[in-house]
Amino acid sequence: MQPPVFPECNHPVVKSLFRYSDRELLTLFQRHPDEGKYFTAIFCRYSSIVYTLIQHHAKSPVQGDYLFALTWRHIFHELRGLDLRFHETESMPFTLQTWLINMTAWCIERAELPTVESIHYSLQTSPPPLWCYVEQALDLLSPILRLTQLMANTFHWSETRISAYLQAEGESVSPADVSALLTEGAERLESLLPRDIRTIYLDGDSTPVNSSPALEQVQS
């Protein structure tokens, strides 16, 4: 199966970074955690290799796409502390490409994937870099704001149903309160998402973060 084409790889913000080496991109990613373009550039550079390795071992394309996203999410977190020099020897340099291949193999070996029927992930509507940064922003929300966003956007619960659930959990929250919490959460989520990620994936400031398909597919 041919690797998919990711439109973000042709975005001017990402294309402007193609002149950097792997080590430079890694350093920029680690030094500027408030910017998402460096991870996106790494993703664009190596998405085809990772995708090909995974689809070769996947039992179905659906599971392969899901594992591809999970692998990049694992890579996203591990890259923060990666020091390529730690893996090098005098006779053998260690490259980012080698590390990514090793990480992919590790994820393939240890992945416990759900059945095809229970996977609702869409690679086209929720590419891994966007998914990673939406999850990161959600993790920074307060528990009540995160929970209401997930209930409304991931599970499509109504404000009345969310209110009933929270009241059953001992929270005195009316449907009107839920509406206010959803508005507050969406505004906070927008402020926590890197601006360049919004530019690359959400048309700058024109698309609300809480309407992104990536939010629908975040795991609770």
100: number of CA atoms within 13 Å, CB side?
24
pTM of the model: 0.88
CA distance 98 to 84: 10
Q: 205 falls in which pLDDT band (50, 70, 90)?
A: low
Consecutive H or E run containing 201: helix 195-201
- Three-class SS state of 173: coil
In this predicted structure, what is the pLDDT of residue 208?
A: 61
pLDDT tens per residue, range 124-179 = 889 999 999 999 999 999 999 999 999 998 889 999 999 999 999 999 999 999 99
CA distance 128 to 71: 9
Which domains, and CATH codes, for the chain?
7-118 (1.10.1740), 128-216 (no CATH)
CA distance 114 to 86: 35
In this predicted structure, what is the pLDDT of residue 82?
A: 94
